Amino acid sequence: MSIFMAHVVIFVLQIVQLVICIFIVLDFYGSMKLRVPYLSVRKHVLLHLYREFNFSSESVVYDLGAGHGRVLSYLKKLSPTITAVGVEFAPLPWFIGTMRQFFSQKEQRITLLYGDAQKVLLTPATHVFMYLSQKLTNKLAEKCVKELKPGTVVITCDFFIENKEPIKVVDCSVPTERLGRKLYVYQY
Ligand SMILES: C[S@@+](CC[C@H](N)C(=O)[O-])C[C@H]1O[C@@H](n2cnc3c(N)ncnc32)[C@H](O)[C@@H]1O
Protein backbone atom coordinates (compact mmCIF):
# COMPACT_ATOMS: atom_id res chain seq x y z
CA MET A 1 0.00 0.00 0.00
CA SER A 2 1.36 3.43 -0.91
CA ILE A 3 1.93 6.07 1.77
CA PHE A 4 -0.91 8.09 0.26
CA MET A 5 -3.37 5.17 0.61
CA ALA A 6 -2.21 4.55 4.19
CA HIS A 7 -2.96 8.19 5.01
CA VAL A 8 -6.42 7.92 3.42
CA VAL A 9 -7.21 4.78 5.46
CA ILE A 10 -6.03 6.44 8.70
CA PHE A 11 -8.09 9.54 7.88
CA VAL A 12 -11.25 7.47 7.25
CA LEU A 13 -10.72 5.51 10.48
CA GLN A 14 -10.33 8.76 12.42
CA ILE A 15 -13.59 10.09 10.93
CA VAL A 16 -15.37 6.86 11.91
CA GLN A 17 -13.93 7.17 15.43
CA LEU A 18 -15.10 10.77 15.63
CA VAL A 19 -18.64 9.88 14.49
CA ILE A 20 -18.81 7.06 17.07
CA CYS A 21 -17.62 9.45 19.81
CA ILE A 22 -20.24 12.05 18.81
CA PHE A 23 -22.99 9.41 19.01
CA ILE A 24 -21.78 8.21 22.42
CA VAL A 25 -21.69 11.78 23.79
CA LEU A 26 -25.12 12.60 22.32
CA ASP A 27 -26.52 9.35 23.68
CA PHE A 28 -25.13 9.98 27.14
CA TYR A 29 -26.52 13.53 27.03
CA GLY A 30 -29.91 12.16 25.81
CA SER A 31 -30.12 9.59 28.62
CA MET A 32 -29.16 12.17 31.27
CA LYS A 33 -31.69 14.65 29.95
CA LEU A 34 -34.53 12.15 29.56
CA ARG A 35 -33.81 10.10 32.66
CA VAL A 36 -35.20 7.09 30.81
CA PRO A 37 -32.52 4.61 29.76
CA TYR A 38 -32.72 2.60 26.58
CA LEU A 39 -33.99 -0.77 27.62
CA SER A 40 -36.01 -2.90 25.25
CA VAL A 41 -39.20 -4.51 26.45
CA ARG A 42 -38.55 -8.14 27.27
CA LYS A 43 -39.22 -10.80 24.65
CA HIS A 44 -41.81 -12.63 26.74
CA VAL A 45 -43.95 -9.46 26.84
CA LEU A 46 -44.20 -9.00 23.07
CA LEU A 47 -46.80 -11.67 22.31
CA HIS A 48 -49.01 -10.43 25.19
CA LEU A 49 -48.75 -6.94 23.75
CA TYR A 50 -49.68 -8.10 20.27
CA ARG A 51 -52.72 -10.00 21.56
CA GLU A 52 -53.97 -7.07 23.64
CA PHE A 53 -53.66 -4.60 20.78
CA ASN A 54 -55.93 -6.74 18.60
CA PHE A 55 -55.16 -4.76 15.42
CA SER A 56 -57.35 -4.28 12.37
CA SER A 57 -55.82 -3.80 8.94
CA GLU A 58 -56.10 -0.01 9.31
CA SER A 59 -54.54 0.30 12.74
CA VAL A 60 -51.95 2.97 13.37
CA VAL A 61 -49.66 2.12 16.27
CA TYR A 62 -47.28 4.57 17.97
CA ASP A 63 -44.42 3.56 20.26
CA LEU A 64 -43.49 6.62 22.34
CA GLY A 65 -39.84 6.12 23.16
CA ALA A 66 -39.34 3.48 20.51
CA GLY A 67 -35.64 2.76 20.97
CA HIS A 68 -34.43 1.18 17.73
CA GLY A 69 -37.98 0.08 16.90
CA ARG A 70 -37.85 -3.50 18.11
CA VAL A 71 -41.44 -3.54 19.42
CA LEU A 72 -42.86 -1.98 16.28
CA SER A 73 -40.89 -4.27 13.98
CA TYR A 74 -42.25 -7.26 15.87
CA LEU A 75 -45.85 -6.00 15.63
CA LYS A 76 -45.47 -5.12 11.96
CA LYS A 77 -44.09 -8.57 11.21
CA LEU A 78 -47.21 -10.18 12.68
CA SER A 79 -49.62 -7.63 11.14
CA PRO A 80 -47.98 -6.27 7.97
CA THR A 81 -50.94 -4.01 7.03
CA ILE A 82 -50.70 -1.79 10.11
CA THR A 83 -48.91 1.56 10.10
CA ALA A 84 -46.19 1.68 12.75
CA VAL A 85 -44.68 4.94 13.96
CA GLY A 86 -41.98 5.21 16.60
CA VAL A 87 -40.67 8.35 18.28
CA GLU A 88 -37.18 8.28 19.77
CA PHE A 89 -35.12 11.05 21.33
CA ALA A 90 -31.77 9.33 21.89
CA PRO A 91 -29.62 9.55 18.75
CA LEU A 92 -27.93 6.15 18.91
CA PRO A 93 -30.98 3.86 19.04
CA TRP A 94 -32.75 6.13 16.56
CA PHE A 95 -29.80 5.91 14.14
CA ILE A 96 -29.52 2.11 14.50
CA GLY A 97 -33.29 1.77 13.97
CA THR A 98 -33.25 4.02 10.93
CA MET A 99 -30.39 2.07 9.36
CA ARG A 100 -32.25 -1.17 10.00
CA GLN A 101 -35.30 0.18 8.17
CA PHE A 102 -33.11 1.05 5.26
CA PHE A 103 -32.10 -2.59 4.90
CA SER A 104 -35.42 -4.24 5.80
CA GLN A 105 -38.10 -5.42 3.37
CA LYS A 106 -40.50 -2.71 2.21
CA GLU A 107 -43.63 -4.33 3.69
CA GLN A 108 -41.96 -4.64 7.10
CA ARG A 109 -40.75 -1.06 7.35
CA ILE A 110 -41.76 1.17 10.21
CA THR A 111 -41.42 4.94 10.52
CA LEU A 112 -38.97 6.07 13.18
CA LEU A 113 -39.23 9.78 14.00
CA TYR A 114 -36.36 11.52 15.76
CA GLY A 115 -37.59 13.83 18.52
CA ASP A 116 -39.38 14.31 21.79
CA ALA A 117 -42.54 12.23 22.12
CA GLN A 118 -44.05 15.10 24.09
CA LYS A 119 -44.03 17.21 20.93
CA VAL A 120 -45.44 14.70 18.45
CA LEU A 121 -49.13 14.95 17.57
CA LEU A 122 -50.84 11.70 18.46
CA THR A 123 -54.12 12.27 16.61
CA PRO A 124 -53.49 9.61 13.88
CA ALA A 125 -52.91 6.83 16.44
CA THR A 126 -55.41 4.04 17.05
CA HIS A 127 -52.99 2.22 19.38
CA VAL A 128 -50.20 3.61 21.58
CA PHE A 129 -47.45 1.80 23.48
CA MET A 130 -45.22 3.25 26.21
CA TYR A 131 -42.36 1.71 28.15
CA LEU A 132 -40.79 4.73 29.80
CA SER A 133 -40.72 5.96 33.41
CA GLN A 134 -43.52 6.63 35.86
CA LYS A 135 -43.13 10.40 35.49
CA LEU A 136 -43.04 10.47 31.70
CA THR A 137 -45.92 8.00 31.43
CA ASN A 138 -48.10 10.39 33.44
CA LYS A 139 -46.97 13.40 31.41
CA LEU A 140 -47.74 11.67 28.13
CA ALA A 141 -51.08 10.49 29.50
CA GLU A 142 -52.14 14.15 29.73
CA LYS A 143 -51.27 14.52 26.07
CA CYS A 144 -53.27 11.37 25.28
CA VAL A 145 -56.39 12.89 26.88
CA LYS A 146 -56.09 15.95 24.63
CA GLU A 147 -55.11 14.31 21.36
CA LEU A 148 -56.29 10.72 21.08
CA LYS A 149 -59.47 9.75 19.25
CA PRO A 150 -62.17 8.04 21.34
CA GLY A 151 -61.57 4.31 21.38
CA THR A 152 -57.77 4.51 21.09
CA VAL A 153 -56.06 1.75 23.02
CA VAL A 154 -53.03 2.69 25.12
CA ILE A 155 -50.81 0.04 26.67
CA THR A 156 -48.06 0.82 29.15
CA CYS A 157 -45.46 -1.64 30.39
CA ASP A 158 -44.57 -1.77 34.10
CA PHE A 159 -45.48 1.90 34.68
CA PHE A 160 -49.14 2.83 34.92
CA ILE A 161 -51.18 5.97 34.35
CA GLU A 162 -51.88 7.34 37.80
CA ASN A 163 -55.27 9.00 37.27
CA LYS A 164 -56.85 6.53 34.86
CA GLU A 165 -58.34 3.12 35.53
CA PRO A 166 -56.98 0.40 33.20
CA ILE A 167 -59.58 -1.76 31.47
CA LYS A 168 -57.24 -4.70 31.97
CA VAL A 169 -53.96 -5.53 33.68
CA VAL A 170 -52.05 -8.38 32.07
CA ASP A 171 -49.64 -10.32 34.24
CA CYS A 172 -46.65 -11.17 32.02
CA SER A 173 -44.27 -12.09 34.81
CA VAL A 174 -41.91 -15.00 34.41
CA PRO A 175 -39.69 -16.29 37.24
CA THR A 176 -36.42 -15.43 35.49
CA GLU A 177 -37.22 -11.78 34.71
CA ARG A 178 -37.52 -8.77 36.98
CA LEU A 179 -38.67 -6.48 34.17
CA GLY A 180 -41.70 -6.70 31.91
CA ARG A 181 -44.05 -7.85 34.64
CA LYS A 182 -47.26 -6.08 33.74
CA LEU A 183 -49.07 -4.52 30.83
CA TYR A 184 -51.71 -1.91 31.67
CA VAL A 185 -54.40 -1.60 29.01
CA TYR A 186 -56.37 1.66 28.75
CA GLN A 187 -59.07 2.88 26.42
CA TYR A 188 -59.54 6.56 25.64
C1 LIG B 1 -37.20 1.72 28.14
S2 LIG B 1 -36.81 2.23 26.48
C3 LIG B 1 -38.10 1.41 25.55
C4 LIG B 1 -37.74 1.19 24.10
C5 LIG B 1 -38.83 0.48 23.27
N6 LIG B 1 -40.13 1.05 23.47
C7 LIG B 1 -38.85 -0.99 23.60
O8 LIG B 1 -39.65 -1.38 24.46
O9 LIG B 1 -38.07 -1.76 23.00
C10 LIG B 1 -37.36 3.91 26.54
C11 LIG B 1 -36.90 4.73 25.35
O12 LIG B 1 -37.60 5.96 25.37
C13 LIG B 1 -36.73 6.99 24.93
N14 LIG B 1 -37.30 8.26 25.42
C15 LIG B 1 -37.33 8.70 26.69
N16 LIG B 1 -37.96 9.89 26.75
C17 LIG B 1 -38.35 10.19 25.48
C18 LIG B 1 -39.03 11.28 24.91
N19 LIG B 1 -39.47 12.30 25.65
N20 LIG B 1 -39.27 11.27 23.59
C21 LIG B 1 -38.83 10.24 22.82
N22 LIG B 1 -38.17 9.18 23.31
C23 LIG B 1 -37.92 9.15 24.63
C24 LIG B 1 -35.38 6.60 25.52
O25 LIG B 1 -34.33 7.20 24.81
C26 LIG B 1 -35.42 5.09 25.37
O27 LIG B 1 -34.85 4.68 24.15
State the CATH number of the domain containing residue 171: 3.40.50.150
Whether 28 and 90 map to the same domain: the answer is no
Per the structure, the complete domain to which residue 115 belongs is given by 43-187
pLDDT score at 43 = 85
Q: How many domains does the chain have?
A: 2
pLDDT score at 103 = 86
Mean of pLDDT over the chain:
90
Q: What is the SS3 assignment for the chain?
A: CCHHHHHHHHHHHHHHHHHHHHHHHHHHHHHHHHCCCCCCCCHHHHHHHHHHHCCCCCCEEEEECCCCCHHHHHHHHHCCCCEEEEEECCHHHHHHHHHHHHHCCHHHCCEEEECCHHHCCCCCCCEEEECCCHHHHHHHHHHHHHHCCCCCEEEEECCCCCCCCCCEEEECCCCCCCCCCEEEEEEC
Which pLDDT tens digit goes with each residue over 128-143?
999 999 999 999 999 9
What number is the average pLDDT over the span 160-181?
A: 91
CA of 94 to the centre of ligand 1 (A): 10
Whether 150 and 92 map to the same domain: the answer is yes
pLDDT above 90 for 127:
yes
Ligand 1 in contact with 88 (CB < 6 A)? Answer: yes
CA of 1 to the centre of ligand 1 (A): 46
User: Which of 129, 131, 158 for mutating ligand 1's site (highest number of atoms within 8 Å of CB)?
Assistant: 131
pLDDT above 70 for 52:
yes
pLDDT score at 87 = 97
Whether 25 and 104 map to the same domain: the answer is no
Whether 57 and 134 map to the same domain: the answer is yes
pLDDT above 90 for 2:
no
Nearest to 59 by CA among 174, 140, 129, 152: 152
Confidence grade of residue 102 (pLDDT, cut at 50, 70, 90) = confident
Q: What is the SS3 assignment for 171? A: strand
pLDDT score at 97 = 93
Confidence grade of residue 11 (pLDDT, cut at 50, 70, 90) = confident
pLDDT above 90 for 65:
yes
pLDDT above 80 for 34:
no
Whether 47 and 28 map to the same domain: the answer is no
CA of 25 to the centre of ligand 1 (A): 17
Which pLDDT tens digit goes with each residue over 69-95?
999 999 999 999 999 999 999 888 999
Whether 25 and 47 map to the same domain: the answer is no
